[in-house]
Amino acid sequence: MAALIYILCALTSGACTVLLLRRYWHSRVRMLFWSALAFLAFALSNVLLFIDLIVLPQWDLTILRSLATSSGILLLLYGLIITTTKP
């Protein structure tokens, strides 16, 4: 059941990635590109969560997961900031 939660989280963030990339392909608005990458990183962190707790419980992937999340956050914040500020 826990596995289901992790998979759903990974799928939802993956879906956001796909939707944002699809829209970016049409409209070329940069913010979408960075947001899409961010959600990809979040999806990765959820996949790593699944691997960490279900597939490879003997290893500790916590730091790797946190790094994936941090990358996602940095990518997202970058996209949000360049959207709302003028160079």
Partner 1 sequence: MSVIQVNIALTGANIMGFLIAGLFFFRFWRLTHERLFAMFTLAFCVMALERVALLAMGSNHEFTPYVYFLRLAAYGLILVGIIDKNRGPQR
Partner 2 sequence: MDGLAAILESAAGRRLVIGMPPQEFLHRDLVLFIAEYIRSVEQLEVLILTSAAVPTEWSIEAVYETVKTNRASIAQRLKDLTSSGLLVEVAGDPVCYRFQPRTERQRQLVADLANAYKRASVRVIETIYSPATASLREFARAFRLKPDQPDK
Q: How far is the CB of 42 from partner 1 (least distance, A)?
A: 9
Q: Residue from 5, 29, 54, 56 that binds partner 1 (CB under 8 A)?
A: 5
73 binds partner 2 (CB under 8 A): no
**28-52 as b/e, with b when 16 or more CB fall inside 10 Å?**
eeebbbbbbbbbbbbbbbbbbbbbb
76 binds partner 1 (CB under 8 A): yes
Residue with tokens 């940095």: 74
Spatial separation of the C-alpha atoms in residues 1 and 18, rounded to whole Å: 26
32 binds partner 2 (CB under 8 A): yes
State which amino acid sits at residue 55.
Answer: V
- Enumerate binding residues for partner 1 (CB under 8 A): 2, 5-6, 8-9, 12-13, 15-16, 19, 46, 49, 60, 62-63, 66-67, 69-70, 73-74, 76-77, 80, 84
